[in-house]
Amino acid sequence: MSHLKNDTFLRALLRQPTEYTPVWLMRQAGRYLPEYCETRRRAGNFLNLCKSPAMACEVTLQPLARYDLDAAILFSDILTVPDAMGLGLYFAEGEGPRFERPLKDEWEIRNLTAPDPHAELQYVMDAVSEIRRALDGSVPLIGFSGSPWTLACYMVEGGSSDDYRKVKSMAYSRPDLMHHILEVTAQAVVKYLNAQIEAGAQAVMVFDSWGGVLSEAAYKEFSLRYLEQVVSGLIRERDGQRVPSIVFTKGGGLWLESIAAIGSDAVGLDWTMDIGRARRMVGDKVALQGNLDPNVLFAPADAVAAETRRILDAYGNHPGHVFNLGHGISQYTPPESVSVLVDTVHAYSRELRARG
Ligand code: CP3
């Protein structure tokens, strides 16, 4: 991986020794940064920002200019895939994502097809290539997608939901239709991630943000099974380099051992489980990514540093840890807290390695 100036993140995902623990943050490019808000204003709205490769590239690089982060993540959204399937994504001001045409009728569901990533989603591939050029080998670029289950939640609910009533009703009353949506969506996700890898993504992450709302049995049937299908379909190597994958089920701590068994290189953890306990459960079968509660960043600097050290201590001096938050960074986060976090991860993990 000598083409990268800093490949610490990729080595940690492959559970190889690193001089320090690499760190990046979910939603690291976003509204807590005034420069992001400025670019979004210029774009007019969030979707225009995603659909302009030049502006998506610009905001991807913003957090890297401020902080010593070990990876960049493509600026986009998980809902680009159902948008490309024809559901009509829009963002109502202050209300989060919505679809003009959520999935309701059997007829619509039977007509669903996996989009060609080089047609409706070419703007994402163009952003990936442009970001890779701009990064110029400084740090690796992460590509991403939503999980089939999480995408299906938005496609059936028509937007965010408190109770997942529509999608769960479908899962329990018409499992055949639910599985059809998940099957087509899993094919779409595989094509989409592989196209990102071909365009230059050096690692990929699958966000299963709503897997944790399911029962264990339903999780295995409607989410994990399709996560496994996605991971099995991914390109493993590109230009002679391994392309590691990360699977993140928010609320999936109880099912960690099953998640660690589907073949991904790494598992993302939310903040609820102690990462030391997680590591004892999975050993060195997978790398772990996480898991600071994003709300810690609202505390004073010494508390941010102390909670960060607590997680590094809990994981211990083993390879295979990528530091991250347990979920996306809040838009209200003071940007200074992120400097404290990133600098503490680097300094304290070097200290732990020196102690042996
Ligand atoms: O991590 C990064 O910096 C890359 C960019 C990224 C965004 N969304 C940008 C974004 C990534 C990886 C996502 C993933 C995503 N999108 C998920 C999975 C991760 C998670 O948080 O669980 C989900 C569920 C979505 C769907 C989505 N997009 C929601 C629910 C919302 C509205 C909520 C909110 O935070 O406003 C979005 C909008 C969105 N996606 C924003 C950003 C920066 C905010 C939009 C804005 O600028 O107004």
- In degrees to the nearest 10, what's the CA dihedral of 232, 233, 238, 243? -50
Closest-CA residue, ligand 1 atom 39, reads: 77
pTM of the model: 0.97
- Residue 298: DSSP 8-state: G
Point out the residues of the chain with pLDDT beneath 70. 1-2
| Alpha carbon of 280 to ligand 1 centroid (Å) | 31
56 in contact with ligand 1, CB cutoff 6 A: no
Q: What percentage of the chain exceeds 70 in pLDDT?
A: 99
For residue range 75-111, what is the model confidence (pLDDT) as tens digits? 999 999 999 999 999 998 778 999 999 999 999 999 9
Indicate the helix (H) or strand (E) that contains 263.
Answer: none
90 in contact with ligand 1, CB cutoff 6 A: no
Q: Report yes or no on 3 lying in a domain.
A: no
Q: Report yes or no on 41 lying in a domain.
A: yes
For residue range 154-180, what is the model confidence (pLDDT) as tens digits? 999 999 999 999 999 999 999 999 999
Number of domain units in the chain = 1
Task: Find the CATH number of the domain harbouring 226.
Answer: 3.20.20.210
Q: Report yes or no on 209 lying in a domain.
A: yes
Q: What is the 3-state secondary structure (H, E, C) of 142-208?
A: EEEEECHHHHHHHHHHCECCCCCHHHHHHHHHCHHHHHHHHHHHHHHHHHHHHHHHHHCCCEEEEEE
CA neighbours closer than 13 Å in the CB half-sphere of residue 245: 27
Residues of the domain holding 216: 8-355
Q: Report yes or no on 283 lying in a domain.
A: yes
Q: Report yes or no on 2 lying in a domain.
A: no
Under a CB-based contact definition with an 8 Å cutoff, are residues 189 and 148 in contact? yes
Q: Report yes or no on 345 lying in a domain.
A: yes
Instruction: Report how far residue 133's alpha carbon sits from residue 26's, in angstroms, rounded to the nearest whole number.
Output: 22
Closest-CA residue, ligand 1 atom 42, reads: 30
Q: Report yes or no on 21 lying in a domain.
A: yes
